[in-house]
Amino acid sequence: MVWRLYGFTIAIIFSVLSTAAADDWNQWLGPNRDSVWSESGIITAIPEGGLKAKWRTPISQGFSGPAVAKGRVFVTDYVVEDGDQSFDPGKRNELTGIERIHCLDLQNGKVIWTHSYPCQYSISYGLGPRATPTVDGENVYTLGAEGHLYCLNVADGRVRWMKNLKQDYGVKEAPMWGYAAHPLVAGDKLFCLVGGKGSAAVAFDKNSGEEIWRALDEENIGYCPPTMVHAGGKDQLLIWHAAALNSLNPATGDVYWSVKISPAYFMSIVAPIKHKNHLLVTGLQGSSTLLELNPSEPGVTEVWRGRGVQPDHNPPVVFEDHIYGVDVKGHLRCIELVSGKRVWEDLATAPNGRPAASTTGFVVRNGTHWYITTEQGELIIARMSPEGYQELGRAPMIAPTSENWGRQIVWSHPAFSNRCVFARNDKEIVCYSLAK
């Protein structure tokens, strides 16, 4: 009996250590919001017979990706009760329904808790929430498509605080494609794009929900997540609304500098990327811009504009002074960062290998290998370098269930955690092991 208890204790310790060794994907684009997956022991080619699902769990509609933390998976969705959905980018869907926040068991996908609330939609592509949950300590933060901001207890889904951003800040209507800027936790603050007079950006106390400051007066707040960088000896909060990229003092909201970058259709979406002493901004129709950061104080100098990769809403990755990402027409490109010169391009991620409007592909780096998810629901494993693109295999992962420009698509960024990939569509969330 003593031996069996001892062995049981050892098993528990081993299990805890194994869990602790795994990396969480606690927010959009991973723990550092840089699309870098650092776990080891990952497959570098598609196994014979394809990917095998560990579990599948039914959910409803949404564009938000999953977050994985503390042995749990967090995902949001929308259940339509009434109204007609269409896929016209210039038309708002008028819908009645329920937004939901689900917490699932990482090991088996079973629902641990669900928090739901009624929500009227008046947005284009009204399929559901856009923003990926953010897990910080014992709290999970979620933002719905119409501006419902929640702080929930990770353990049981209890509401710690909530804000109705439209109502609280006098916003007439949500952005055309809904609130989509993933909230950012930094220190004791939660930063959000909000809208309303003088409140394009708002800092909240992450524990109480109390407003700390509000800043910037811009009607079209866009969809770009708040981003924190350190440059010029200062932490700088970057807010890219539809008229300009702004650097703020995160403690006060005071503006350090502002550069006019106005993408087409108010589509400031992709978060700026800091690489060494440069800041990369990517967007449609010539809005992609490279800025050089001032080393001694907050400030920037423009290096180039209108070059590189110009994505719709999928972020590129910068690695070893090169940009890797999927352009709006579906071209997978390698770009020299400092010059903006195109090194190569490939149609490997495009629908049926042909250019198409508003094509999406998400790139994630793990060491020298890249894990690319296409809008057709495929997972590609590849090598990419300035020398070229080498595909090591691809496999179906999840069915495309949404619609864009007459084709079926998946537009939700997956999560990579615990040597698994987690992907969702409008019907289910699925987990595949990628462990060797």
pLDDT digit string (tens) for 183-223? 999 999 999 999 999 999 999 999 999 999 999 999 999 99
- What is the pairing mode between strands 273-275 and 278-281? antiparallel
With respect to residue 165, please indicate whether it lies within any of the assigned structural domains.
yes
Closest CA to 332 of 353, 349, 316, 351: 349
With respect to residue 118, please indicate whether it lies within any of the assigned structural domains.
yes
Burial of residue 31 (number of CB atoms within 10 Å: 0-12, 13-18, 19+):
middle
With respect to residue 329, please indicate whether it lies within any of the assigned structural domains.
no
Is residue 159 within 8 A of residue 191, CB to CB? The reply is no
Closest CA to 185 of 209, 166, 218, 214: 209
With respect to residue 387, please indicate whether it lies within any of the assigned structural domains.
no
- pLDDT of 14 reads 34
166: enclosing H helix or E strand = helix 165-168
Exposure class string for 243-273: b at 16+ Cβ within 10 A, else e? bbbbbbbbeebeebbebebbbeebbbbbbbb
Closest CA to 167 of 177, 179, 176, 155: 179
CA dihedral sign of residues 21, 102, 135, 192: positive
How far apart (Å, rounded) are the C-alpha atoms in residues 78 and 127?
Answer: 7
- pLDDT of 391 reads 98
How far apart (Å, rounded) are the C-alpha atoms in residues 352 and 14?
Answer: 46
- pLDDT of 201 reads 98
With respect to residue 168, please indicate whether it lies within any of the assigned structural domains.
yes
- pLDDT of 55 reads 98
- pLDDT of 286 reads 87
Q: How far is CA 161 from the centre of its chain?
A: 23
Is residue 130 within 8 A of residue 64, CB to CB? The reply is yes
Q: Kindly write down the DSSP assignment for every residue of 267-304, as one continuous string.
A: ---SPPEEETTEEEE--TTTT-EEEEEPSSSS-EEEEE
Question: How many domains does the chain contain in total?
Answer: 1
**Residue 33, domain CATH:** 2.40.10.480
With respect to residue 127, please indicate whether it lies within any of the assigned structural domains.
yes
- pLDDT of 19 reads 38
pLDDT digit string (tens) for 164-191? 999 999 999 999 999 999 999 999 999 9
With respect to residue 271, please indicate whether it lies within any of the assigned structural domains.
no
- pLDDT of 9 reads 35
Q: How far is CA 176 from the centre of its chain?
A: 19
User: Residue written as tokens 């999970």?
Assistant: 140
Closest CA to 367 of 41, 30, 20: 41
In this structure, how many other beta carbons lie within 10 angstroms of the beta carbon of residue 321? 13
Where in the sequence is the domain holding 31, given as residue range(s)?
24-41+60-180
Beta bridge partners of 362: 373
Which residues of the chain register pLDDT less than 70?
A: 1-21
How far apart (Å, rounded) are the C-alpha atoms in residues 103 and 152?
Answer: 11
Beta bridge partners of 237: 228, 248
- pLDDT of 285 reads 87
21: enclosing H helix or E strand = helix 2-21
With respect to residue 75, please indicate whether it lies within any of the assigned structural domains.
yes
- pLDDT of 40 reads 97
- Residue 229 is encoded by which pair of tokens? 């960088």
